Amino acid sequence: MAITKMELTPSNKTQTNGLQVAASAAKISDYFGCNVFGPETMRLLLPKDTYAKVQEAIQQGTRFDMEVANAVASAMKTWAISKGATHYCHWFQPLTGVTAEKHDSFIDPTSDGNVLEVFSGKQLVQAEPDASSFPSGGLRATFEARGYTAWDPTSPAFIMETAGGATLCIPTIFVSYNGESLDTKTPLLRSNEALNKAALAVLKYFKTDAAKVFSTLGAEQEYFLIDQEYYRRRPDLILAERTLFGAASPKGQQLEDHYFGSIKDRIFAFMTDAEKELYKLGVPLKTRHNEVAPNQFECAPVFEEANVAVDHNQLVMDLLKRVAARHGLACLLYEKPFAGINGSGKHNNWSLGTDTGKNLLSPGDTPHDNLQFLTFLVSIIKAVHDHSKLLRASIASSGNDHRLGANEAPPAIMSVFLGAQLTTVLDDLEKGVTTKGTEPEWMSFGIDKIPAILRDNTDRNRTSPFAFTGNKFEFRAVGSSFNNAFPVMVLNSIVAEQLIQTKKDIDERLKSKKQLKDAVIDVLRKYYKESKTVCFEGNNYSEEWVKEAKRRGLPNIKTTPEALEGLVEKESVEMFERLGVLSKAETHSRHHIKLEKYVKDIDIEAKLVIDMLRTMYLPAAIEYQGQLANSVRLLRELNPKDPAGKTELELLSDLTKQIDSASRAVESLRKAHVAAEFIDDVEEKAKAYCHKVKPFFDVIRAAVDVLEGLVPDKLWPVPKYREMLFLI
Ligand code: ADP
Ligand code: MG
What are the C-alpha distances in Å from 171 to residues 119, 150, 519? Answer: 16, 8, 44
CA–centroid distance, residue 547 to ligand 2 (Å): 28
Of residues 291, 231, 224, 233, the one with CA closest to residue 263: 291
Q: What is the C-alpha separation between 695 and 689, in angstroms, rounded?
A: 9
Evaluate if residue 504 carries a pLDDT over 60.
yes
For residue 428, the model assigns a pLDDT of 83
Q: Which atom of ligand 1 is nearest to the CA of 361?
A: 23
Q: Which ligand is closest to the CA of 471, given by its number?
A: 1
Residue pair 479/399 in contact by the 8 Å Cβ criterion: yes
What's the CA-to-centroid distance between 348 and ligand 2, angstroms?
10
DSSP H or E run through 350: strand 346-354
Q: What would the pLDDT profile of 92-112 be if each residue is shown by its tens digit?
A: 888 888 888 888 899 999 999
The percent of residues above 70 in pLDDT, for the chain, comes to: 91
- Rounding to the nearest 10 degrees, give the CA dihedral for residues 300, 304, 306, 311: -70
Q: Which of 303, 322, 344 is the last residue of a domain?
A: 344
For residues 588 and 568, is the Cβ–Cβ distance under 8 A?
Answer: yes
8 has pLDDT over 70: no
Asked, for residue 593, whether it belongs to a domain, the answer is: no
Region of 96 please: left (phi>0), alpha (psi -120 to 50) or beta. Answer: alpha
Atom of ligand 1 nearest to the CA of 302: 16
pLDDT at 433 over 70: no
Same domain, 386 and 251: no
Give the distance (Å) from ligand 2 centre to CA of residue 573: 33
Asked if residue 467 lies in contact with residue 473, where contact means CB atoms within 8 angstroms, the answer is yes
* Mean pLDDT computed over every residue of the chain: 88
Atom of ligand 1 nearest to the CA of 359: 23
Separation of CA 220 and ligand 2 centre (Å): 6
Closest listed ligand to the CA of 458: 1
Q: Which atom of ligand 1 lies nearest, measured to the CA of 471?
A: 23
Domain that holds residue 685: 598-724
User: Which residue minimizes the CA distance to atom 17 of ligand 1?
Assistant: 218
Q: Cβ–Cβ contacts within 10 Å for residue 320, how many?
A: 24
The closest residue, in CA terms, to atom 7 on ligand 1 is 300
Of 291, 324, 344, at which residue does a domain stop? 344
Q: For residue 13, is pLDDT > 70?
A: no
From residue 27, alpha-carbon distances to 32, 38, 41, 278, 303 in Å are: 9, 20, 20, 14, 21
The pLDDT value given to residue 3: 41
DSSP 296-340: EEEEEEPPEEHHHHHHHHHHHHHHHHHHHHHTTEEEE-SS-SSTT
Asked if the structure places residue 449 within a domain, the reply is no
- 460 by Cβ neighbours in 10 Å (0-12 / 13-18 / 19+) ranks as middle
- Distances in Å between the Cα of 627 and the Cα atoms of 318, 645, 651 are 47, 12, 11
**Same structural domain for residues 423 and 556?**
yes
Give a yes or no: residue 592 inside a domain: no
The confidence score (pLDDT) of residue 440 equals: 36
The Å distance, Cα 286 to ligand 1 centre, comes to: 10
Average pLDDT of 576-582? 97
Ligand nearest to the CA of 362: 1
248: which DSSP letter? P
Closest CA to 582 of 394, 379, 415, 378: 394
Determine the distance separating the centroid of ligand 1 and the alpha carbon of 535, expressed in angstroms.
21
DSSP annotation string for 124-168: HHEE--B-TTS--TTSS-GGG-BEEEEE-TTS-EEEEEETTEEEE
Counting every residue, how long is the chain? Answer: 728
> Which ligand gives the minimal distance to the CA of 305?
1
Say how many domains are in the chain: 4
Give dist(CA 32, CA 41) in Å, integer: 12
Identify which has the larger pLDDT, 178 or 720. 720
**659 shares its domain with 708:** yes
State the DSSP code for 223. E
Q: pLDDT of 632-654, one tens digit each?
A: 999 988 888 877 888 889 999 99
**Do 200 and 261 fall within a single domain?**
no
Query: Are 525 and 604 in a shared domain?
Result: no
The pick from 303, 377, 473 for probing ligand 1's pocket by mutation, whose C-beta has the most ligand atoms within 8 angstroms, reads: 303
Quote the pLDDT of residue 25.
52
Same domain, 411 and 493: yes
Q: Is 158 helix (H, G, I), strand (E, B) or coil?
A: strand
Q: What's the CA-to-centroid distance between 508 and ligand 2, angstroms?
A: 42
Q: Which of 303, 445, 473, 476 is nearest to 374 (CA)?
A: 445
Closest-approaching ligand to the CA atom of 350 = 1
**Is the predicted pLDDT of residue 391 greater than 80, yes or no?**
yes
Would you say residue 446 lies in a domain? no
Our CA angle for 274, 276, 279, nearest 5°, is 110
> What's the mean pLDDT in 413-427?
88
Q: Assess whether 208 and 232 both reside in one domain.
A: no
User: Which ligand ends up closest to the CA of 348?
Assistant: 1
Q: Angle 78-83-88 (CA atoms, 0-180°, nearest 5)?
A: 70
pLDDT at 22: 46
**Residue 301 alpha carbon, nearest atom of ligand 1:** 14
Higher pLDDT, residue 270 or 727: 270
Distance CA 364, CA 357 (A): 13
Per-residue pLDDT at 56 exceeds 90: no
Return all residues near 615 (Cβ < 8 A) that are at least 6 apart.
Answer: none
Q: 219, exposed or middle or buried, with CB in 10 Å at 0-12, 13-18, 19+? A: buried
pLDDT of 1 reads 45
- Cα 702 to ligand 2 centre (Å): 33
Q: Does the pLDDT of residue 215 top 90, yes or no?
A: yes
Q: Is-contact 121 72, C-beta < 8 A?
A: yes
| 549, part of any domain | yes
In ligand 1, the atom with minimum distance to the C-alpha of 300 is: 14
- Give the model confidence (pLDDT) of 654-712 as tens digits: 999 999 999 999 999 999 999 999 999 999 999 999 999 999 999 999 999 999 999 99
CA distance 484 to 695: 29
Q: What is the CATH number of the domain that holds 282?
A: 3.30.590.10
pLDDT in the model for residue 140: 66
Q: Which of 215, 220, 491 to mutate to test the pocket of ligand 1 (most atoms within 8 A of CB)?
A: 220
Closest ligand to C-alpha of residue 291 is 2
The amino acid that residue 553 corresponds to is G
Separation between Cα atoms, residue 553 and residue 540, nearest integer Å = 16
**Do 297 and 374 have their domain in common?**
no
Which range has the worst mean pLDDT, 135-139, 195-199, 271-275, 550-554?
A: 135-139
39 inside domain = yes
Mean pLDDT score, 475-497: 97
Helix, strand counts (H, E) of the chain: 25, 20
Question: What CA–CA distance (Å, rounded) separates 307 from 322?
Answer: 23
Cα–Cα distances in Å, from 455 out to 37, 228, 535, 536, 548?
39, 47, 21, 21, 31
**73 lies in a domain?**
yes
Cα 347 to middle of ligand 1, angstroms:
9
Q: List pLDDT tens digits, range 605-639.
A: 999 999 999 999 999 999 999 999 999 999 988 88
**Is 240:332 a contact under the CB 8 Å cutoff?**
no
Same domain flag for 420 and 526 = yes
Tell me the CA–centroid distance for residue 310 and ligand 1, in Å. 14
Q: What separation, in Å, do the N-terminal and C-terminal C-alpha atoms of the chain show?
A: 16
**Mean pLDDT in residue range 214-226:** 97
18 secondary structure, DSSP code: -
CA-proximal residue: ligand 1, atom 11 (nearest) = 218
Predicted local distance difference test score (pLDDT) of residue 95:
85
Pocket of ligand 1 (CB under 6 A): 216-218, 220, 287, 300-303, 347, 349-351, 359, 471-472, 474
Ligand nearest to the CA of 219: 1
Question: pLDDT per residue over 129-177, tens digit each?
Answer: 776 777 777 776 655 667 888 888 889 999 999 888 999 999 998 888 8
The C-alpha torsion from 486 through 173 and 351 to 562, rounded to 10°, is -10
Q: What pLDDT, in 10s, does the model give residues 705-725?
A: 999 999 999 999 999 999 999
Contact 589, 612 (CB under 8 A): no
Q: Looking at ligand 1, which residue's alpha carbon is closest to its atom 5?
A: 300
| Ligand 1 atom nearest to CA at 351 | 24
Site to probe by mutation for ligand 1, drawn from 312, 349, 358, 492 as the one with most ligand atoms within 8 Å of Cβ, is 349
336 CA to middle of ligand 1, Å?
Answer: 23
202 and 243 together in one domain: no
- CA 646–ligand 1 middle distance (angstroms): 61
Of 344, 371, 401, the position where a domain reaches its end is 344
Distance from the alpha carbon of residue 521 to the mean position of ligand 1, in angstroms: 29
Ligand located closest to 469 CA: 1
Question: What number does the ligand 1 atom closest to the CA of 217 have?
Answer: 25
From ligand 1's centre to the CA of 350, what distance in Å? Answer: 8
* 260/526 Cα distance (integer angstroms): 43
Nearest atom in ligand 1 to the alpha carbon of residue 350 is: 25
Query: Domain check: are 402 and 312 in the same one?
Result: no
CB atoms within 5 A of ion ligand 2 belong to: 220
- With H, G, I as helix, E, B as strand and everything else as coil, classify residue 28: helix
Report yes or no: 233 and 718 within 8 Å, Cβ to Cβ: yes
Number of alpha carbons in the 13 Å side-chain half-sphere of residue 588: 9
Q: Whose CA is nearest to atom 14 of ligand 1?
A: 218
Could you tell me the CATH number of the domain that includes residue 84? 3.10.20.70
CA of 349 to the centre of ligand 1 (A): 5
Are 315 and 339 in a shared domain?
A: yes
**Mean pLDDT score, 168-192:** 90
Tell whether 587 is covered by a domain. no
The 10s digit of each residue's pLDDT in 348-377 is: 999 999 999 999 998 877 767 788 999 999
Q: Which atom of ligand 1 is nearest to the CA of 303?
A: 16
d(CA 428, ligand 1 centre) in Å: 29
DSSP 533: G
